[in-house]
Chain A
Amino acid sequence: MVGVSEVLNTVQMGLAYMVIALPLTLSYRVTQVINFVHIIFITLGAYTVALLGLIGLTNVWIALGIAFLLGGALAVLDNVAVFEPLWRRGSDVLIIMVASLGLWIFYKYLIYAVLDKLFIILRTNTLSVLVRTEGFPSVTLGAVTIDGYLIDTVVTSVVVTLALYLILMKTRIGKAIRAIADNQTLAEISGIPRGRVLNFMWFLAGGTAAVGGVLWALFQTTVTPEIGDQIILQVFSIAVIGGLYSLTKTALGAFIVSGTENIVIAVLHDTFGLPLSFRPFLVFSVLLIVILVWPPLGAGGGLPYRFRIRPRARR
C-alpha cells in the first residue's frame, strides 16, 4: 500500500537529493567537469553531523554550518591544487574528470583511515554511527506524525535553494559565475577574475553538497563511510535528468527519482509482486529512458552530438 509514510519519505529523500544534485549541475555548467569528489562532500557532511553527535554537540544547525564550511574548503582546495593547474595546462575535460576520480578514491580511504584512528581514540564504532542531533521537534497531526528531521530537511533545503537562487541571479558574483558558464573567454575579456570567481563557485558547490550530505544522513539515520558511494546511481540519474544543464530540471529530477524509489516501487510491489530488490533497476531505467527520449543531453536539452560545442577555448 502506498501510504503516508511513502509520501513523506519521497519528500524528505527528494529534498536531500535536490540539495545534493544542484551543486553537481552547477559545477558542471561552469567548468564542464563532472566532479567525482562530490561523493566525498556527501560523506563529509554526513560524518560531520554524526561525529558531532558522538561528542555530544547535538545541534543540527551548528552541524549544517560546519559541514558547509568543510565542504566548501575541500572544494576550493581541490580546485587550487588540482583542477586549476590541469586547466591551465590545457588538459582535456576528460582528464580533469579522471583527476577528480583519483581525488575521490584518495579522500574516501583517507576518511576510512582517519575513522579507524578515531575508533581507537573515541572507543566507539566510528565506521557505523547512529545520527543523534536535534533540530525541530516532531509534530503530530491527527494520525500522522511528521518527524523532526523532515522539518529540518524542509527548512534547510528551502533556505539553501533560495540562497543559491538569489546568489546566482541577483548578485554581481552570481552574474560573473553565469557569464563564465556561458562563455569563458568572453567572460575573461570582460574583466571577470576567473580564478577568484571559480573559487567562490567551488566553495558554494562543495558547501551545498556537504549540507546535502547532512540532510542525507538525517534521512538514513546511520552513517557509514560508504554513505556517499551508495547514492552514486541516484545522484547521477538526477543530474542526467537535469541534463547537467538546467537547475530547475535537476530539482524536478530529484523528486522523480525519489518518487520512483518510494512510490513506484511500492505500487509495483503491491500490484505485480515485484521484489523490492528491483529498486536499482527502476532508477537505472529512469536514467536510460531519459537518455533515450532526450538523446543529446538528457532532459535539460543541448546540442546534438554532432554539433557539440568544443568543451572550452584553450589558452
Chain B
Amino acid sequence: MEFLINFIISWLPIFAIYGILSISLNLEIGYTGMANFGKVAFYAIGAYLSAALTMSVMLSLVGKSVPLYSIEAVQALSTPGTGAIYTHPAAYVGLFVLSLVLAFIVAGVVGYFITYPTLRVGPAFLGITVLAFGEMFRVFMRNYEPLGSTKGLFGLNNPFIWIGNPQLSQGLFALVSLALLLAIYIYAERFVNSPLGRTLRAIKDDEVAALCLGKHVPRVKATVFFIASGMAGVAGVLWTFYQGSVQPDTFVPILTFYVWAMVILGGMGNNLGALLGAAVFTLVDRVLTFAAGMMGPSLIIPPNYLRWMIVGIVIVLVLLFRPEGIRPAKPIKTPAWEAVKEVSEGG
C-alpha cells in the first residue's frame, strides 16, 4: 500500500506534464494539422524561465548575490531547514504560480512569432523550422554560462517542500499538477468544440476551402500555436519543480517525438486519446525503470535504450496497422448536431 501510494505520487506529476504536452500537441496536429516537431523548445523555455526567475528572486530575498549556477546558490537555496526555499515558503509558492503564468505568456508569444515566417510555407517547413529552433535553443543553453551551460541549474525543489513531510509535499504537488492538467483538458475540450474549433477542423481537412470561406487561416493557426506553446511552457514549469533542476540535454528533439508517439497511440484529433497515450507511455516508462532496477545488468537491452526503441516502433506500428489510434476521433459536439441526432433517433 505504502509502495503503491509512493508510486502514484511519483507518477502523477509526470503523467500531468506529458498529458499537458500531448493535449497541446494534439491541438496542433490532431485538430489543426500543423506538424510541430519542436514542442520541446517551448517546454524548455518554460522550464528555464521558471528556474531562472525563481532562483534569482529567492536569492535576492536572502540577500545573496552569487551566480545562479554556483554551488553557493544551491546551498543558499536548498540546504534543508535553512535554505531560502524552506524559510520563505510564501514567496516560493508565489513564484511557482507566477512562473506558471509567465511561462504560458512567454512561451506562447515566442510560439506566435515563430509561426509568422513559417506558416506561409507549408506544414513540412513549419515542422523543421520549429525543430531547428528547438535545437538552436538547446545548443545555445549548453553554451550559455549565466544559466549554467551544460550542467544546468540546480537548487530548486518541490514547491511544498517546506511542509517537511516528504509524502505530503509530494502528494500536494501531484494534486496541483493534476488539477492543472484537468483545467487544461477542460479548456481544450471547450476550445475544440467552439466555433473556432470547428474552423480548426475545416483547416485541417481542406485549407484552401477554409480560405475560400473567408477564414483567416494563418491567424487561426498562429492563435492555436500561441495557446499550445503556452501550455507546453506550463508543462516546463511543472518539470522544473518536479525535477528540482534544469539541464539543457533534457530537451533533446527526441522528447518531442515521445509526445508525438503518445498522441499517435491515443488517436489524433481527440483530447481523451492524447491523455490515454500519455498515461500508457508514462506508465510503461515507470514500470521499465522499476523492472530495470530489479533485473539489473542482466537485461539484454539497457532500459533507457529499450524505452526509446519502444517509442519509435510504436509510432511506426500504430501508423501502419491502426492509424486512427486507440480512440478514433469523433465529430465535434454542437447544439445543432445534438438536435439533429435527437430528431433522427426520436424519429
Contact = CB atoms under 8 A, between A and B. Distances in A.
Interface string B293-335: 0000000011001101101111110011001000000000000
Contacts of A291: 117-118, 121, 125, 129
A110 B305 CA distance: 7
Chain A residues touching B, majority SS: helix
A116 B132 contact: no
Nearest to A277: B143
B305 A95 contact: no
Interface centre among A244, A276, A280, A308 (most CB of B within 10 A): A280
Interface stretch (B90-98, B134-142, B233-241): B134-142
Contacts of A91: 319, 323
A97 interface: yes
Contacts of A305: 120-122
A39 B10 CA distance: 35
Contact of B135 (A89, A101, A232): A232
Q: Tell me which of A93, A99, A107, A109 has the highest count of chain B C-beta atoms within 10 A of its own C-beta.
A: A109
Contact of B314 (A85, A102, A113): A102
A159 interface: no
A105 B124 contact: no
Contacts of B319: 86, 91, 95, 98-99, 102
Interface stretch (B175-183, B195-203, B256-264): B256-264
A229 B264 CA distance: 23
A62 B35 CA distance: 40
Nearest to A304: B120
Contact of B128 (A34, A106, A277): A34
B166 interface: no
A82 B117 CA distance: 32
Residue picked from B120, B121, B309, most chain A C-beta under 10 Å? B121
B35 A106 contact: no
Contacts of A93: 124
Interface string A215-246: 00000000000000100110011011000100
Contact of A287 (B129, B139, B312, B323): B129
B257 A105 contact: yes
A73 interface: no
Interface string A54-93: 0000000000000000000000000000100110010101
A105 B315 contact: yes
B140 A298 contact: no
A238 to B, nearest CB: 11
A296 interface: yes
Given A91-B323, A113-B305, A116-B305, A102 B120 contact: no
B302 A113 contact: yes
B312 A284 contact: no
A236 B323 contact: no
B313 A106 contact: yes
Given A95-B323, A98-B260, A82 B316 contact: yes
A94 B305 contact: no
B interface secondary structure, majority:
helix
Interface in A108-155: 108-110, 112-113, 116
A110 B306 CA distance: 8
B312 A295 contact: no
B309 A113 contact: yes
B297 to A, nearest CB: 10
Contacts of B144: 277
Contacts of A89: 323
B302 A236 contact: no
Contacts of A97: 35, 124, 127
B311 A105 contact: yes
B211 interface: yes
A107 B312 contact: yes
B254 interface: yes
A113 B308 CA distance: 11
Interface in B29-68: 33, 35, 37
Contact of B264 (A34, A98, A240, A278): A98
Contacts of B131: 232, 236
Contacts of B314: 102
A211 interface: no
A306 B215 CA distance: 13
B133 interface: yes
Given A109-B308, A232-B135, A296-B121, A101 B260 contact: yes
A99 B321 CA distance: 12
A192 interface: no
B80 interface: no
A268 interface: no
A297 interface: yes
A232 B118 contact: no
A283 interface: yes
Contacts of A85: 320
B132 A233 contact: yes
B123 interface: yes
Given A95-B323, A113-B309, A292-B117, 5 more contacts: A98-B315, A101-B315, A112-B305, A113-B305, A236-B131
24 contacts: A85-B320, A86-B319, A89-B323, A97-B35, A98-B264, A101-B37, A102-B261, A102-B312, A102-B314, A102-B315, A103-B312, A106-B309, A109-B306, A110-B309, A229-B253, A233-B136, A239-B128, A240-B125, A277-B142, A280-B140, A284-B133, A287-B129, A291-B129, A306-B208
The 6 closest A-B pairs by CB, nearest first: A102-B315, A106-B312, A277-B143, A105-B312, A102-B316, A109-B308
Interface of A: 34, 82, 85-86, 89, 91, 93-95, 97-99, 101-110, 112-113, 116, 229, 232-233, 236-237, 239-240, 244, 275-281, 283-284, 287-288, 291-292, 295-298, 305-306, 308
